[in-house]
């Protein structure tokens, strides 16, 4: 069995951060060690929430506690997502380095959540800078959306070709794999939901239906990053992991749309997460 230390947000109601990623990763047979950066009543895109940011010291203390029982070497990957404060970024990178000192084969997937003011996703001051200046260089895999692709690459990214260039820039800065979770308006077809995957061997593009909602569900990126790393740890190739992730997420979105719900219907779609109905294929970009 593979083990993932997942350092993300936690919401008591609904699905975002670890609530969106943990159960799907467990469904794929991965043991998840959830370490929460914040504990909120609900995700921030409701516009109001209660709860607290976890003190940054807790991250290191928890990791050292796992090491004290001689278990940290079992960790096969660290995932970081929504970060509650700028100070937490350095603590997370210290945790990644510590895990890798105990298991040199461990991977670090950085889901660089930077916030999206238009959608109401709020991230603390300094987090974006920490992700760009510190986390990106440490990451083996990084999973930006369009906003984050621009910030990480420093490029404007207003069309598909610029998106490809931005991915190349990120690959030159440390990560070995880049998964663009959503190309949004710079994709080939704005009526579709499009993703990119890049590694040292090339780039692949996948397109699936773009589901329409009154309010866009939150936590899709967290689900995407979690499924991708879990698939890789389970021995799938990059392309197999990419396709399974895209198809499983599409099925979750379909069920969520059918139930007319603002929150991702992860439990209702649990069988599709393991065995997706959708069968969209990745196409290599020449």
Q: Binding site for ATP: residue ranges?
A: 111, 148, 181
Annotated binding site: 9, 44-45, 111, 148, 181, 222
Give alpha helix (H) positions in 42-107: 57-68, 86-102
DSSP letter for each residue of 233-255? HTT--HHHHHHHHHHHHHHHHHH
Distance of CA 67 to the CA centre of its chain: 25
DSSP state of 126: T
Q: Is 263 left (phi over 0), alpha (psi -120 to 50) or beta?
A: beta
Burial class (CB in 10 A: 0-12, 13-18, 19+), 9: buried
Distance CA 242, CA 229 (A): 10
Annotated binding site for substrate: 9, 44-45, 222
231: helix, strand or coil: helix
Burial class (CB in 10 A: 0-12, 13-18, 19+), 58: middle
Backbone angles phi, psi at 176, to 5 degrees: -95, -20
Listed residue (103, 114, 179) closest to 147, CA to CA: 114
Listed residue (62, 140, 131) closest to 98, CA to CA: 62
For residue 4, list its beta bridge partners.
32, 77
Distance CA 181, CA 142 (A): 10
């Amino acid at each position: 069995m593979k083990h993932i230390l997942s350092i993300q947000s936690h919401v008591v109601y609904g699905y975002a951060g670890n609530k969106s990623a943990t159960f799907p990763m467990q469904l794929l047979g991965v043991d998840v060690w959830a370490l929460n950066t914040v504990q909120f009543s609900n995700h921030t895109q409701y516009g109001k929430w209660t709860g607290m940011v976890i003190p940054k010291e807790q991250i290191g203390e928890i990791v050292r506690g796992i090491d004290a029982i001689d278990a940290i070497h079992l960790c096969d990957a660290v995932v970081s997502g929504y970060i509650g404060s700028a100070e937490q970024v350095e603590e997370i990178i210290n945790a990644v380095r510590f895990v890798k000192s105990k298991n040199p084969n461990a991977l670090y997937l950085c889901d660089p959540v930077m916030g999206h003011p238009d959608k109401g996703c709020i991230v603390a001051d300094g987090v974006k800078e920490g992700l760009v200046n510190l986390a990106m260089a440490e990451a083996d895999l990084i999973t930006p959306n369009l906003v984050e692709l621009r910030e990480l690459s420093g490029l404007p990214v207003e069309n598909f070709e610029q998106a490809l260039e931005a991915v190349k820039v990120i690959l030159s800065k440390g990560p070995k794999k880049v998964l663009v979770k959503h190309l949004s308006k710079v994709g080939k077809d704005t009526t579709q939901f499009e993703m990119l995957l890049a590694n040292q061997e090339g780039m692949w593009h996948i397109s699936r239906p773009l589901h329409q909602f009154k309010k866009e569900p939150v936590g899709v990126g967290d689900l995407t990053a979690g499924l991708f790393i879990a698939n890789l740890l389970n021995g799938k190739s990059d392309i197999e992991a990419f396709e399974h992730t895209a198809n499983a997420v599409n099925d979750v979105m379909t069920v969520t749309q059918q139930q007319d719900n603002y929150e991702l219907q992860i439990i209702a779609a649990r069988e599709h997460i393991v065995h997706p109905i959708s069968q969209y294929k990745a196409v290599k970009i020449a």
